[in-house]
Amino acid sequence: MPPTACRWRRFPLSGHPASLPSRWPRWTLLHQDCPGTRSGVQAAQRLASEAVLLHELNQIGDPLRVPLLPTRDGADLSTCGTFRVAVFTWIEAVNLGSTWEDALPELADLLGHLHAHTSDVTARLQHFPCPPEDFALPFEVALLKDLSNLAHLSRTARPGMLLLRDLLLEHEATVRHHLKHARALRVQALSRPQSFVLCHTDAHGGNVMRDANEQLWLVDWEMARLTP
């Protein structure tokens, strides 16, 4: 398998030693960060912050249901050689997918509960998976550079690059217009008084699940941060 930022594996615990905690369910998810790559290092840093955050959220309790399992010595993470490893309970639930908007009233209550406990969490945590929202456009420099490179392609460039140039440069003016508008919005946002709350920031249909008891779960907290 080629190097990637992280790997997810699902496996049964029935064949594991009896010394494992009895509360562990039959199925778990293993999150394993892959070292040796820039994205792997970043993923490991996010995982470490995410694990601590999930531990704190677990203390808040219902309706926030967090599946992170502690190690046998009570730690949130373990190591295997140079790998950082976290284990998550397998959730018997279904992603809401494209129907997630139907659950917005329930989701609003869940997120409101999260926001309301911001001070409780921040009193114990200094770092989150992502830094506080600053409304920056981190992709802007690379995007403009790529557009410039496409505009100066030689005739001997790869056919795929030439096709990409013909596809994108037609919309360059629109892209630059939206970037300018986004920069103006950032200035406005930064000029206003802000009260930050803890946010999931990625609560789309793929990360919102419903279990057999009709309860909602929010998964994938690696983008959580403080935002206005």
Residue 128, φ and ψ in degrees, nearest 5: -125, 170
Mean pLDDT of the chain: 82
Q: Does residue 12 carry a pLDDT above 60?
A: no
Q: How many CA atoms does the CB half-sphere of 65 hold within 13 Å?
A: 17
pTM for the predicted model, two decimal places? 0.75
- pLDDT at residue 10 in the model: 46
Residue 27 pLDDT grade (very low, low, confident, very high; cuts 50, 70, 90) = very low
Q: Do 225 and 114 contact (CB within 8 A), yes or no?
A: no
* Cα 223-221-49 angle, rounded to 5 deg: 80
Q: Cα-atom radius of gyration of the chain, to the nearest Å?
A: 21
222 has a pLDDT exceeding 70: yes
Distance CA 76, CA 103 (A): 31
Confidence band, pLDDT 50/70/90 cuts, at residue 140: very high
